[in-house]
Amino acid sequence: MTQRHLVTGGAGFVGSHLVDRLMERGDEVICLDNYFTGRKENIRHWIGHPNFELIRHDVTEPIKLEVDRIWHLACPASPVHYQFNPIKTAKTSFLGTYNMLGLARRVGARLLLASTSEVYGDPEVHPQPESYRGCVNPIGIRSCYDEGKRIAETLCFDYHRMHGVQVRVARIFNTYGPRMLENDGRVVSNFIVQALRGQPLTLYGEGTQTRSFCYVDDLVQGFLKLMESDNTGPMNLGNPGEFTIRQLAELVRDRINPSLEFVLEPLPQDDPLQRQPVIELAKSALNWHPKINLSEGLDATIADFKKRLIPSQEAES
């Protein structure tokens, strides 16, 4: 039976890939976005399709819709964007989730919250299982996002306990792939854009901090499985392969311009030194694990950035 889906943040990087999958399987999709970090270009190919509806709306304001599934992805997720207006970021996490849960309660929809590995903060436990409660600075420059997502998770489980709302909570680890914004401040896009422009690659600290990079197609597959599972979560979704930031920089540099140098800058405040998911729960409950390795994913991501950046550079020359 065809379902009707609401995807908040549906014109964003991850949201637009989710919209693609839902549309490709023949369901109805309402894409809701205020275009703070989303781009209409990401979902333009669906505009005019009878199963697709696009609404410009900010989730901090209530909205009345009839849907079966709510995929709540709306929130700036990169440090550059969520620190641009930290009060707005906190409001989006709290009020946005509150409004979407209220909608889910009214219409009997199931809601999946796109939470984040940032709820673990700068972890004292490595790698991070779902049972770890985190080490988060509640008053730092990243707190608007870290604590915002923590309260969003709280709201989900309180609505579940008090009102019986069906919730699914996904804790997303670093995700990359086509449609990333060139100015989002994420490490993968930073390195690719710098390399394509012939600039030195910026490493913070010595580049020894670690991250685990999940390709967007793998993440979306995890979303789809989690939404239809019986497990509420929270559930880690990410690639457990761990790389230092320097290793990532070398992989990008070697693919684009091996002669580029590295520039060292001080570590940002509260920047986590280690980040790696334990995904045993996703493996056992969803039969899910990432299939696309970093090398393969980087090739596709670099190709996408080249299509968007290189033509504009040629036009200027």
Q: 3-class DSSP state for residue 67?
A: coil
8 Å CB contact between 148 and 92: yes
Neighbouring-strand partners of residue 113: 72, 169
- DSSP H or E segment with residue 218: helix 216-227
Closest CA to 191 of 240, 249, 131: 249
Q: Is residue 145 flagged as an active site residue?
A: yes
| Angle, vertex CA 219, rays to CA 216 and CA 221, nearest 5 | 110
What span, in angstroms and rounded, lies between the C-alpha atoms of 2 and 184? Answer: 35
Q: What single string gives the DSSP state of each residue in 38-72?
A: --GGGTGGGTT-TTEEEEE--TTS------SEEEE
- Active-site residue, from 82, 98, 120, 145: 145
What the block records as the tokens of 122 is 């700068």
* Active site residues per annotation: 145
